[in-house]
């Protein structure tokens, strides 16, 4: 054996999940190594150059409330900021920012390199090293992690390993009939980790994702495109950012046409998704242009967004036309788009097939049920999106460090955070397509708004040791300002009604409060927005909390570890198999397992009460 390196936590892969995992573990004091095959691609945006959006913005702000990286990086490098869904209520708003792709990646790398307790190392992991646990009983892990082997005859040793391998496990890229090994254009793939997971008894499956072509701005007729501006007052993502100072850039909108759709249909016999060349499933909510044309055959056009990839590049990302069609078809298709008649492609679109591990093999900590000390986050868990990856990375990295230190885990419930919804959906229901977060997935979304993520989660982060003192002090100052302002609203009256009561009315806004009490103009925008939203939603949130508490009294009933479902009389075979595989922590958790009925839960409860559990 060659060189040996000892750490508390090893994180494999330095994409959005790996960065958050490594930084979270390091913030908790664990000696952490972040291993990546290329140190120049830390935090790289493989697909769209943007952060946030509907449902996703909540994840970004929650990660930030725990001291994460993503929000600070996009605030520093964003080139256009917009809030989506403004016509709907605040709980449905989705802040989104275009990034200077290269600057974003460099900012993330800078944060990683400056994080105490964290070493960034350029290594290619070939295998996972384990030893037997000699544990017995239902659900006992047969192996425990002791480290990883890397190319070049070296070993990294640690009791916990976090896999954040993205699309690089046995990855194959497709452009028409052409295929090549690699998880991203210009980069390779790895098979050792997939083989190790299968050897250790984990199920491994395949998913597909894709990316559109990139164009040279010099070849585009922007006069024929619709201009899309950013917000006049850009809204930061991080609770530590006071304001966005940098100048914003313009994006543009155009559309496909029936003629383009005809061209695509005429070439479906050359599209890997339709020839059988690609057999795995892709993200339903981010379909390729081929899928759009087939699935929505009656639609005459689809919107395309032209997004700059940075301030100092002419490269333009064409959002909405992800494809794996052959190069000649992409050339012809692009030049049929209004404004793109003379466009030149700089990078062609392609699809990627890659291995992932179905996430129902994980606990709510994102730790493996089969291998003690092994954690997974990001696309290896069957998700899609930078924001979903970052959220999982935070959870997996924090729990890896907490496990290494023998401390209580960090588990977020569905009523706590969008991150809790994401993790619970993954580990309880599994995935049959790449998972994407939406506001509709969060049943408590009125309380889980992006604007109040710091108040909801930073106190919890502080208790676990995940955030620095200045963030805690900043939140305390804001909370005090909110309390003072609320007292003013409760004390001041207009026509006999307090301003606090008037704010409950949809037609009454913060501007009306300022008109009535001019000194309220000094209140910060952040404080004003949260007070207004809190008051508007107070009645609905109170009713929701009552319902949660009623459900919790039964749902929090603990199911002992190693519980024998085979001993539950009259329990259906399907339910027995599902529950034994998922191994839910509580009755509430069991109720969310796919295929489990109220009758199944009643039988489990009777058995628990009968054995005094």
pLDDT digits (tens, 9 = 90+) for 332-352: 999 999 999 999 999 999 999
Band of the pLDDT at 371, cuts 50, 70, 90?
A: very high
pLDDT given for residue 137 in this prediction: 65
Does the pLDDT value for residue 375 go beyond 90? Answer: yes
Asked if residues 285 and 436 have their Cβ atoms less than 8 Å apart, the reply is yes
pLDDT given for residue 207 in this prediction: 95
Select the CATH number that applies to the domain covering 556-610 from these four: 2.60.120.260, 1.10.150.570, 3.20.20.70, 2.60.40.3140. 1.10.150.570
CATH of domain 469-554: 1.10.10
Could you give the percent of the chain with pLDDT greater than 90?
75
The predicted model gives 211-220 an average pLDDT of 97
3-state secondary structure of 461: helix
Whole-angstrom Cα distance, residue 419 to residue 60?
9
Whole-angstrom Cα distance, residue 204 to residue 358?
7
SS percent in the chain: helix, strand, coil, step 5? 40, 20, 40
CA 131 to chain centre: 32
3-state secondary structure of 277: coil
CA 144 to chain centre: 27
Q: Could you tell me the sign of the dihedral formed by the alpha carbons of 534, 535, 537, 541, in that order?
A: positive
Nearest-Å Rg of the Cα atoms of the chain is 25
Does the pLDDT value for residue 271 go beyond 80? Answer: yes
Whole-angstrom Cα distance, residue 480 to residue 472?
12
Does the pLDDT value for residue 40 go beyond 70? Answer: yes
Whole-angstrom Cα distance, residue 69 to residue 19?
8
Whole-angstrom Cα distance, residue 496 to residue 561?
59
pLDDT given for residue 607 in this prediction: 87
- Taking alpha carbons only, the member of 585, 141, 136, 594 closest to residue 604 is 585
Partners of residue 121 on adjacent β-strands: 35
pLDDT digits (tens, 9 = 90+) for 389-422: 999 999 999 999 999 999 999 999 988 999 999 9
DSSP 517: S
Band of the pLDDT at 1, cuts 50, 70, 90?
A: low
Whole-angstrom Cα distance, residue 590 to residue 583?
8
Tracing tokens 């709980």 back to the chain, one arrives at 91
pLDDT given for residue 402 in this prediction: 98
The predicted model gives 599-606 an average pLDDT of 83
pLDDT given for residue 547 in this prediction: 74
CA dihedral 145, 150, 152, 155 (to 10 degrees): -30
pLDDT digits (tens, 9 = 90+) for 488-544: 999 999 999 999 999 998 889 999 999 999 999 999 989 999 999 999 888 888 887
pLDDT given for residue 349 in this prediction: 95
Does the pLDDT value for residue 611 go beyond 80? Answer: no
Q: Regarding the domain delimited by 4-210+354-464, which CATH topology (the fold level of the hierarchy) does it fall under? A: FAD/NAD(P)-binding domain (3.50.50)
3-state secondary structure of 523: coil
Count of all residues that appear for the chain in the document:
613
Two structure tokens written together for 264 = 């695509």
Whole-angstrom Cα distance, residue 328 to residue 336?
13
Whole-angstrom Cα distance, residue 150 to residue 165?
14
pLDDT digits (tens, 9 = 90+) for 101-159: 999 999 999 999 999 999 999 999 999 999 998 876 666 788 999 999 999 889 999 99
pLDDT given for residue 543 in this prediction: 82
Select, from the ranges 260-274, 429-443, 592-606, the one with the highest average predicted confidence (pLDDT).
260-274
Residue 445 has φ and ψ, to the nearest 5°, of -65, -20
Residue 36 has φ and ψ, to the nearest 5°, of -140, 150
Average pLDDT, the chain: 93
pLDDT given for residue 513 in this prediction: 93
What is each CA distance from 112 to 97, 121, 147, 265, in whole angstroms?
A: 21, 11, 22, 46
CATH 3.40.640.10 assigned to domain 214-352? The reply is no
Whole-angstrom Cα distance, residue 188 to residue 184?
7
Answer with the residue of higher pLDDT: 563 or 1: 563
pTM: 0.90
CA dihedral 419, 421, 425, 428 (to 10 degrees): 100
Residue 607 has φ and ψ, to the nearest 5°, of -65, -40
Does the pLDDT value for residue 613 go beyond 60? Answer: no
The predicted model gives 187-215 an average pLDDT of 93
Does the pLDDT value for residue 53 go beyond 60? Answer: yes
Asked if residues 345 and 330 have their Cβ atoms less than 8 Å apart, the reply is yes
Does the pLDDT value for residue 273 go beyond 60? Answer: yes
Where residue 595 falls (left for φ over 0; alpha for ψ -120 to 50; beta otherwise) is left
Degrees (nearest 5) of the Cα angle 347, 352, 358? 150
pLDDT given for residue 282 in this prediction: 86
The predicted model gives 274-289 an average pLDDT of 88
CA dihedral 544, 545, 548, 554 (to 10 degrees): -140
**Residue ranges of E strands in 225-356:** 226-228, 251-255, 303-308, 315-319, 345-347, 350-356
Of the listed ranges 216-225, 251-260, 275-284, the one predicted with least confidence: 275-284
Could you give the percent of the chain with pLDDT greater than 70?
98
In the chain, where the domains are located: 4-210+354-464, 214-352, 469-554, 556-610
Partners of residue 122 on adjacent β-strands: 36
pLDDT given for residue 551 in this prediction: 67
- Taking alpha carbons only, the member of 131, 158, 163, 155 closest to residue 144 is 131
Band of the pLDDT at 211, cuts 50, 70, 90?
A: very high
Whole-angstrom Cα distance, residue 292 to residue 255?
13
Q: Secondary structure of 448-507 in the HEC alphabet?
A: CCHHHHHHHHHHHHHHHCCCCHHHHHHHHHHHHHHHHHHHHHHHCEECCEEHHHHCCCCC
Contacts by 472-477, CB closer than 8 A, 24 or more apart: 474/239, 474/240, 475/239
- Taking alpha carbons only, the member of 384, 62, 388, 112 closest to residue 237 is 62
Whole-angstrom Cα distance, residue 255 to residue 34?
42
Q: Secondary structure of 392-459 in the HEC alphabet?
A: HHHHHHHHHHHHHCCCCCCCCCCCCCHHHHHHHHHHHHCCCCCECCCHHHCCCCCCCCHHHHHHHHHH
Of the listed ranges 60-74, 100-114, 442-456, the one predicted with least confidence: 442-456
pLDDT digits (tens, 9 = 90+) for 172-196: 999 999 999 988 888 888 889 999 9
Whole-angstrom Cα distance, residue 116 to residue 29?
8
Whole-angstrom Cα distance, residue 264 to residue 290?
7
Does the pLDDT value for residue 612 go beyond 60? Answer: no
Whole-angstrom Cα distance, residue 576 to residue 593?
11
Whole-angstrom Cα distance, residue 66 to residue 299?
43
What is each CA distance from 31 to 120, 157, 447, in whole angstroms?
A: 11, 11, 36
Whole-angstrom Cα distance, residue 135 to residue 120?
34
- Taking alpha carbons only, the member of 131, 400, 440 closest to residue 285 is 440
Partners of residue 252 on adjacent β-strands: 227, 306
Asked if residues 163 and 34 have their Cβ atoms less than 8 Å apart, the reply is no
Asked if residues 226 and 255 have their Cβ atoms less than 8 Å apart, the reply is no
pLDDT given for residue 190 in this prediction: 87
pLDDT given for residue 440 in this prediction: 84
């Amino acid at each position: 054996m060659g060189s040996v390196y000892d750490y508390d936590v090893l994180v494999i892969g330095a994409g959005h999940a790996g960065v958050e995992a490594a930084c979270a573990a390091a913030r908790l004091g664990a000696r952490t190594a972040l291993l990546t095959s290329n140190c120049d691609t830390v935090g790289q945006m493989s697909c769209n150059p943007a952060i946030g959006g509907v449902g996703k913005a909540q994840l970004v702000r929650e990660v930030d409330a725990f001291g994460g990286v993503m929000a600070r990086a996009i605030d520093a490098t964003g080139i256009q900021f917009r809030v989506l869904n403004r016509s709907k209520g605040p709980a449905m708003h989705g802040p989104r920012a275009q990034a200077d792709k290269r600057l974003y990646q460099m900012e993330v790398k800078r944060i990683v390199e400056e994080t105490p307790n964290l070493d960034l190392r350029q290594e290619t992991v070939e295998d996972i090293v384990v030893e037997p646990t000699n544990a017995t009983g239902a659900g006992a892990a047969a192996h425990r992690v002791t480290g990883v082997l890397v190319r070049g005859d070296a070993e990294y040793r640690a009791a916990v390993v976090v896999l954040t391998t993205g699309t690089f496990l046995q990855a194959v890229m497709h452009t028409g009939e052409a295929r090549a090994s690699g998880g991203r254009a210009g980069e390779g793939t790895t098979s050792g980790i997939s083989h190790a997971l299968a050897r250790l008894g984990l199920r491994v499956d395949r998913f597909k994702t894709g990316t559109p072509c990139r164009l040279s701005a010099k070849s585009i007729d922007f006069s024929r495109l619709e201009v899309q501006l950013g917000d006049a007052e850009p809204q930061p993502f991080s609770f530590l950012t006071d304001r966005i100072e940098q100048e914003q850039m313009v994006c543009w909108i155009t559309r496909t046409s029936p003629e383009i759709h005809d061209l695509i249909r005429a070439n479906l016999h050359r599209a890997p998704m339709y020839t059988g060349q690609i057999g795995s499933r892709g993200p339903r909510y981010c379909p390729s242009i081929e899928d759009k044309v087939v699935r929505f055959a009656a639609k005459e056009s689809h919107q395309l967004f032209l997004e700059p990839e940075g301030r100092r590049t002419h490269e333009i990302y064409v959002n909405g036309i992800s494809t794996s069609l052959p190069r000649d078809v992409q050339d012809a298709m692009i030049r049929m788009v209004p404004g793109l008649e003379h466009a030149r492609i700089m990078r062609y679109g392609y699809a990627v097939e890659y291995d992932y591990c179905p996430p129902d093999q994980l606990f709510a900590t994102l730790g493996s049920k089969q291998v003690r000390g092994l954690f997974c986050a990001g696309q290896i868990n069957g998700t899609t999106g930078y924001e979903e990856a970052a959220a999982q990375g935070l959870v997996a990295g924090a729990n890896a460090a907490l496990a290494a230190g023998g401390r209580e885990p960090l588990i977020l419930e569905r009523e706590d955070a969008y991150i809790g919804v994401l993790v619970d959906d993954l580990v309880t229901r599994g995935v049959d397509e790449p998972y994407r977060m939406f506001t509709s997935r969060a049943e408590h979304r009125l309380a889980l708004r992006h604007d109040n993520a710091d108040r909801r989660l930073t106190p919890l982060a502080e208790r676990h040791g995940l955030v620095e003192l200045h963030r805690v002090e900043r939140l305390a100052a804001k909370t005090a300002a909110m309390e003072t302002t609320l007292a003013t609203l409760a004390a001041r009256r207009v026509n006999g009604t307090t301003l606090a009561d008037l704010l409950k009315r949809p037609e009454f806004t913060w501007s009306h409060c300022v008109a009535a009490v001019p000194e309220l103009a000094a209140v910060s925008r952040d404080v004003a927005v949260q007070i207004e939203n809190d008051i508007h939603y107070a009645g609905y949130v109170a009713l929701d909390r009552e319902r949660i508490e009623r459900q919790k009294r039964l749902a929090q009933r603990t199911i002992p570890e190693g519980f024998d479902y085979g001993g539950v009389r009259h329990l259906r075979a399907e339910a027995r198999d599902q529950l034994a595989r998922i191994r839910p922590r509580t009755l509430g958790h069991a109720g969310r397992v796919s295929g489990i009925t109220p009758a199944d839960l009643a039988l489990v409860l009777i058995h628990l009460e009968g054995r005094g559990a």
